[in-house]
Amino acid sequence: MITLKNDLLKFDITGILGHEINQHIDFYNTGVEEAYLAIKNNDNSTALTILRSLKSQLDLEYKYFDTKRFWDFGTFNDAYSYVDGIKRASRALVGAPNYRNMRSMLYDIRDYMTRTRFDDDRYYGNVFALDVDKYLDEMTALEHHSHFGMFLQGIRTFYHRPGKVTAKQCLTLSKGLPPKDIEPFILIEYIEKYLR
């Protein structure tokens, strides 16, 4: 089976490279094919082990993608077909994997998991938060304490803990900064949801 670089693709708090999404898609689709091959070779034990690994990963990702915080961001997520596939596959797999439901569960994973390929070198998800992190990493200690540095730290906090309080804090920190300087770092529609 494929080893994943990261267990979770946190689209809501950072940008994720397409090749990493593709790796997750391949993890599921290749895993299903390996399990079917094991079944064909009368090795149901190996097939069940693979299925348990696939279901465990699906449950982990589903739990993350099913949070309110992620739902609020989900409409802005340009990798929605991947997230939707995870949600559908996970909801279809009811109960613990066993020899009786093994084929059915493998079929559901294959049926719901997206086959859409993402551009390997393109970022998906919250590219605004990724830009904030990159910019903050390049700042000196003195720049971190500047008005602009404090704003970037505030917007980073908002992306990690979105809510009315952090959104208002960002609005306050943005006062006096030229709009052209802050636009590359703010997903306006996302922050406005919390300012209503």
pLDDT by residue (tens digit) across 153-186? 999 999 999 999 999 999 999 999 999 999 999 9
What pLDDT is stored for residue 62 in this prediction?
96
Structural domain span for residue 151: 126-195
- 17 phi and psi, to 5 degrees? -65, 145
Query: Quick check: is 93 in a domain?
Result: yes
Query: Quick check: is 73 in a domain?
Result: yes
Query: Quick check: is 2 in a domain?
Result: no
**Mean pLDDT of the 104-128 span:** 93
**Mean pLDDT of the 32-52 span:** 97
- Residue 115: pLDDT band (50, 70, 90) is confident
Query: Quick check: is 172 in a domain?
Result: yes
State pTM to two decimals: 0.89
Q: Give yes or no for a contact between 126 and 132, defined as CB atoms under 8 angstroms apart.
A: no
What pLDDT is stored for residue 90 in this prediction?
94
Q: Give yes or no for a contact between 135 and 185, defined as CB atoms under 8 angstroms apart.
A: yes
pLDDT greater than 80 at residue 74: no
- Residue 1: pLDDT band (50, 70, 90) is confident
- Residue 89: pLDDT band (50, 70, 90) is very high
What pLDDT is stored for residue 78 in this prediction?
86
Q: Give yes or no for a contact between 125 and 79, defined as CB atoms under 8 angstroms apart.
A: yes
Quick one: 172 exposed, middle or buried, by C-beta within 10 A (0-12, 13-18, 19+)? Answer: exposed
Q: Cα(74)–Cα(65) distance, rounded to whole angstroms?
A: 8
Query: Quick check: is 150 in a domain?
Result: yes
Q: H-type helices in the chain, by residue range?
A: 18-40, 44-65, 68-74, 80-92, 102-112, 127-138, 141-144, 147-160, 164-174, 179-182, 188-195
Q: Are residues 98 and 33 in the same domain?
A: yes
Q: Give yes or no for a contact between 74 and 1, defined as CB atoms under 8 angstroms apart.
A: no
What pLDDT is stored for residue 68 in this prediction?
86
Q: Which two tokens stand for residue 195?
A: 């300012």
**Which residues are bridge partners to 17 per DSSP?**
123
**Mean pLDDT of the 71-83 span:** 85
Query: Quick check: is 119 in a domain?
Result: no
Q: Are residues 181 and 156 in the same domain?
A: yes
Q: How many CB atoms lie within 10 A of CB 13?
A: 19
Which of 94, 154, 116, 97 is closest to 26 using CA atoms?
116
Task: Say how many domains are in the chain.
Answer: 2
For the chain, the average pLDDT equals 94
